[in-house]
A and B are shown apart, each in its own frame.
Chain A
């Protein structure tokens, strides 16, 4: 499904070079729910960004469904992001000027599909994440948990091969977080591949497999049994 071979990422911070990811090799199978753990600055977000094609590795290879993500043009990478990957961010990243349903529709709007054809699907998805009553609300009229649900619905609308979540509950209280994790687990049980970055080992336990990063390298890889 997703395969990394010796993927490295270096950043230039002024004169200093930061080695955010060092030769990471990893194989994620279809239907897995992978939790990524590690201390702050260990490269978790970097890893996720590389898998989602938000960024390209400095060296090494990354494949999603056997398609390479390295060494391809920005436009090709963009299309992969649009069609094969669904992102859920810590800070939700909804467009404040759009309503919930418009935010959910956005990835398909980018494809050129008219809103009329997308709308029913978007409303369905909002229903699935428990926001059937909130479709015409703007982000500012929603709570944090609700915003994150909108973001999840948005990530799902293209039926992506993989759902990538970077600390999806980092901004939410523990009760709301619990609900989000349950939602993700249900999705996983329906067959959705998910990669989730988290600090919290309790949260990581929702996954089927946990990896731990340390200083940009893979330090642990544990498979949990099926739930």
Chain B
């Protein structure tokens, strides 16, 4: 009750007067909650649509057999059919395709056995007049396809119309024989699905003799588990027999990784919000020192003071969290496509038509936002409750620095910094399987470092000012000396401003250094491994989202080499395989040939062994991050699942590769084809004969293939240029974010100085009355704020360098490998020092004007 009283009679009025500060704190928490909400929504929505698709496509099948991503031999079908208890076992091809015209809509092709598939799946045609009992009978002709009514309407396609589809064999024409009602498989992928006969789909999508899946039902009386075991034992290792629900669980694992990365971003945002709240409450406590003293003198208990400040923070953050839900939905709308695309690339066509909500996670996210604010507000609120009533009723308080600059703060600061060091040391020394070897460890190390350093700002500011007095102020005029003294007089309040500057500068320096390091590593890497002249592919090699590219026949390299001016064309094939719950990237190339021009960076093993051991043999290279995680070195063996069952591969070398943060495996394309029986290529690395012009050859390639298929031929120089631009853009983007943080810090300085000016009205009046000019008064205030900025800038740059290193370790070196070197970005340190001083001086302008305008008579009248 008394709590409500205080809140409604005091806090609301303060909130009215402190809009800017409250607004910032609201933004931070709001963004954090929004990030978490959007992750949850995106996750659930993608998962739900994936599950729906699986369920629709599954029909009445009780179990599904899956193998390698690129498909497995259709002989497995007979093995499964021979298992006692199996009723129907039907082959399925499931692949992505794009229309060749219009917006090149991508959709899913379901290739089924047109004679038997009705046994487990329902199809019904829109056009009942056809009066054919089984719509699949339409597929008897090879060029036939069934579309959903939804997709036909969207694309303006009619029955019996010919459509052009991008396939492995180039652009092919199919005739739409019927439109399906939204029922059964036709509901999968939001209707972006087409049904073909499996024997037509196999050659069209480069899967001759192979299938992607077997859907099966079993006879009455058999139980799921015994059937599962029986089928499993009839198949080689590396095959999965699972219920449809089990398959969606696999996607959940993929999403867990995504969730982890984005989740960290969410926590980061919440952390920024906490920092802002901490700052807002700190400034508020410092500024309302007198009010607290009066309330205490009139009989407010410590608990009442604490609840007053925490209550204010909670009220604000509750509001912010609810706003965060709204913003989160917007974020989710914007990002769901990208995530669905990554699931499409790695599994199968997934498109989210509507977002999925659930109260439990909304409540959880709002709860986290509020609890975070509570935690952030607690420390300054407790500090505020320690303010003694006696100090407030005096005109000039006795020493008040006990408030932030005291032993407890120093101990807490040292404790957090030590904790941060300990966690980071544990991370650096822990074994690969240890819990400390995770980005969660480096993340918490970073948070504790920031906490520890920001608690040390009062002590640091004191040191800084002592240094300033020793080395600078003796040579300066009275104004500078006065400014220095003013700052020293109220270390606690000024420390809050310093810590705001510190935080934004630390973020600025750390992210610049981290991104600079990544850019350098990536560019070096790309420079080393993309040394061909032209990259030939069926989709834009750097397309993000949009239509997935359709692979090409590997044989095409021969045709490319026949194009005049081409020296060589080397196929590259990529696929994914499951290993220890991870989705490993598998790259297949002609390693020996590509080593002639590409410079793979090896961290273990040597080129001679690669030349000798990789071609045609069961040997591989693994990337550095993967090797470190599983402690793999040349000479070790790795058992990988293939469509032929598990195969033991010898590890010949460890190579630097940044293509996947889950790990990557590289093998000779002949070895790959032998085990996977997959003769496709995702792109070709083309070299041009000496003295031939690259643009001419490029045109020749486009001329030769452009009519039969969709093709891109991107000069490698151009490709690298685009990569460089993209990296550069990410730099600009983070800089923009950092500048915003800096502006927020600037607002913090304005508020702090304003409070200080208002509190010093009397003193300023005295100075004016004894002959200080207006210009001198504002000069003092501006110098003060520049000094605060300099202190924050120095502390922030030093900490930022450390944070950049910690984050690079946890978020990149951990997964991509130690070859990602940390480079301190000195340019941004120079900028940040300059910016922090200039910006702070600018922030001092308004308070300075207020100070200069102080009316002498009024100032001296009362305090």
A residues whose Cβ falls under 8 Å from a Cβ of B: 11, 13, 49, 54-55, 74-75, 78-79, 81-83, 87, 89-91, 93-95, 97-98, 102, 106-107, 109-115, 144, 154, 166, 171
Q: Is B301 an interface residue (CB 8 A)?
A: yes
List 29 A-B pairs, Cβ < 8 Å. A54-B297, A54-B389, A54-B390, A54-B393, A74-B301, A75-B302, A78-B299, A78-B300, A81-B299, A81-B389, A82-B298, A87-B393, A89-B393, A90-B395, A93-B290, A93-B392, A94-B294, A95-B10, A97-B10, A98-B10, A98-B13, A106-B298, A107-B299, A110-B295, A110-B299, A111-B2, A112-B2, A114-B1, A171-B862
Known: A49-B390, A93-B393. A87 touches B297 (CB 8 A): yes
Q: Which of A74, A81, A91, A112 contacts B863 (CB 8 A)?
A: A91
13 further A-B contacts with Cβ under 8 Å, apart from A90-B395, A93-B290, are A13-B398, A54-B393, A55-B388, A75-B303, A78-B302, A87-B298, A91-B863, A93-B393, A110-B2, A110-B5, A110-B304, A112-B1, A171-B862
Least CB distance from B485 to A in Å reads 17
| Cα of A110 to Cα of B5 in the assembled complex, Å | 7
Known: A54-B389, A97-B17, A106-B298. A115 touches B862 (CB 8 A): no
Q: Which of A91, A110, A115 contacts B393 (CB 8 A)?
A: A91
Q: Is B103 an interface residue (CB 8 A)?
A: no
Of B298, B304, B389, most buried by chain A (CB within 10 Å of CB) is B298
Known: A95-B291, A154-B298. A109 touches B2 (CB 8 A): yes
Q: Which chain A residues border B395 with CB–CB below 8 Å? A: 90-91
Q: Nearest A residue to B863 by beta-carbon distance?
A: A91
Q: Is the interface of B mostly helix, strand, loop or mixed?
A: helix
| Cα of A102 to Cα of B295 in the assembled complex, Å | 13
B residues whose Cβ falls under 8 Å from a Cβ of A: 1-2, 5-6, 9-10, 13-14, 17, 290-291, 293-304, 388-390, 392-393, 395, 398, 862-863
| Cα of A82 to Cα of B297 in the assembled complex, Å | 8
Q: Is the CB of B299 within 8 A of A115?
A: no
Known: A82-B298, A97-B14. A109 touches B392 (CB 8 A): no
Q: Which chain B residues border A112 with CB–CB below 8 Å? A: 1-2, 5
CB-CB nearest 8 A-B residue pairs: A82-B299, A112-B2, A112-B1, A97-B13, A81-B299, A109-B5, A78-B301, A93-B294
| Cα of A74 to Cα of B301 in the assembled complex, Å | 8
Q: Which chain A residues border B393 with CB–CB below 8 Å? A: 54, 87, 89, 91, 93, 166
Q: Is the CB of B302 within 8 A of A74?
A: yes
Least CB distance from A118 to B in Å reads 10
Q: Nearest A residue to B293 by beta-carbon distance?
A: A93
Q: Which of B5, B295, B301, B398 contacts A115 (CB 8 A)?
A: B5
| Cα of A60 to Cα of B302 in the assembled complex, Å | 25
Q: Which chain A residues border B392 with CB–CB below 8 Å? A: 93
| Cα of A154 to Cα of B299 in the assembled complex, Å | 12
Least CB distance from B323 to A in Å reads 26
Q: Which chain A residues border B389 with CB–CB below 8 Å? A: 54, 81
Q: Nearest A residue to B12 by beta-carbon distance?
A: A97
| Cα of A10 to Cα of B182 in the assembled complex, Å | 88
Q: Is the CB of A95 within 8 A of B294?
A: yes
| Cα of A166 to Cα of B395 in the assembled complex, Å | 12
Q: Which chain B residues border A81 with CB–CB below 8 Å? A: 297-299, 389
Q: Is the CB of B299 within 8 A of A79?
A: yes
| Cα of A100 to Cα of B317 in the assembled complex, Å | 31
| Cα of A43 to Cα of B296 in the assembled complex, Å | 22
Q: Nearest A residue to B302 by beta-carbon distance?
A: A74
| Cα of A93 to Cα of B10 in the assembled complex, Å | 15
Q: Which chain A residues border B293 with CB–CB below 8 Å? A: 93
Q: Which chain A residues border B390 with CB–CB below 8 Å? A: 49, 54-55
Least CB distance from B850 to A in Å reads 16
Least CB distance from B729 to A in Å reads 47
Q: Which chain B residues border A107 with CB–CB below 8 Å? A: 298-299
Q: Which chain A residues border B13 with CB–CB below 8 Å? A: 97-98
Q: Nearest B residue to A115 by beta-carbon distance?
A: B9
Q: Nearest A residue to B14 by beta-carbon distance?
A: A97
Least CB distance from B508 to A in Å reads 36
Q: Which of A55, A78, A109 contacts B6 (CB 8 A)?
A: A109
Q: Which chain A residues border B295 with CB–CB below 8 Å? A: 95, 106, 110
| Cα of A107 to Cα of B296 in the assembled complex, Å | 10
Q: Is the CB of A98 within 8 A of B9?
A: yes
| Cα of A75 to Cα of B293 in the assembled complex, Å | 15
Q: Which chain B residues border A95 with CB–CB below 8 Å? A: 10, 291, 294-295
Q: Nearest A residue to B13 by beta-carbon distance?
A: A97
| Cα of A106 to Cα of B8 in the assembled complex, Å | 12
| Cα of A205 to Cα of B294 in the assembled complex, Å | 29
| Cα of A97 to Cα of B308 in the assembled complex, Å | 15
Q: Which chain A residues border B10 with CB–CB below 8 Å? A: 95, 97-98
| Cα of A193 to Cα of B10 in the assembled complex, Å | 31
Least CB distance from A123 to B in Å reads 16
Q: Is the CB of A109 within 8 A of B294?
A: no
Q: Which chain B residues border A171 with CB–CB below 8 Å? A: 862
Known: A91-B395, A102-B9, A115-B5. A110 touches B291 (CB 8 A): no
Of A54, A90, A102, A107, most buried by chain B (CB within 10 Å of CB) is A54
Of B13, B14, B297, B303, most buried by chain A (CB within 10 Å of CB) is B297
Q: Is the CB of A114 within 8 A of B5?
A: yes
Q: Nearest A residue to B291 by beta-carbon distance?
A: A95
| Cα of A13 to Cα of B294 in the assembled complex, Å | 23
Q: Which chain B residues border A94 with CB–CB below 8 Å? A: 294
Q: Which chain B residues border A89 with CB–CB below 8 Å? A: 393
Q: Which chain A residues border B398 with CB–CB below 8 Å? A: 11, 13
Known: A97-B14, A115-B9. A110 touches B298 (CB 8 A): yes
Least CB distance from B306 to A in Å reads 12
Q: Which chain B residues border A87 with CB–CB below 8 Å? A: 297-298, 393
Least CB distance from A88 to B in Å reads 11
Least CB distance from A112 to B in Å reads 4
Known: A97-B14, A112-B1. A75 touches B301 (CB 8 A): yes
Known: A93-B392, A95-B294, A97-B17. A109 touches B9 (CB 8 A): yes
Known: A93-B297, A102-B9, A111-B2. A144 touches B862 (CB 8 A): yes
Least CB distance from B17 to A in Å reads 7
Q: Nearest B residue to A107 by beta-carbon distance?
A: B298
Least CB distance from B488 to A in Å reads 15
Q: Which chain A residues border B294 with CB–CB below 8 Å? A: 93-95
Q: Nearest A residue to B16 by beta-carbon distance?
A: A97
| Cα of A78 to Cα of B389 in the assembled complex, Å | 10
Q: Which chain B residues border A110 with CB–CB below 8 Å? A: 2, 5-6, 295, 298-300, 304
Least CB distance from A135 to B in Å reads 15
Q: Which chain B residues border A166 with CB–CB below 8 Å? A: 393
| Cα of A20 to Cα of B862 in the assembled complex, Å | 27
| Cα of A90 to Cα of B863 in the assembled complex, Å | 11
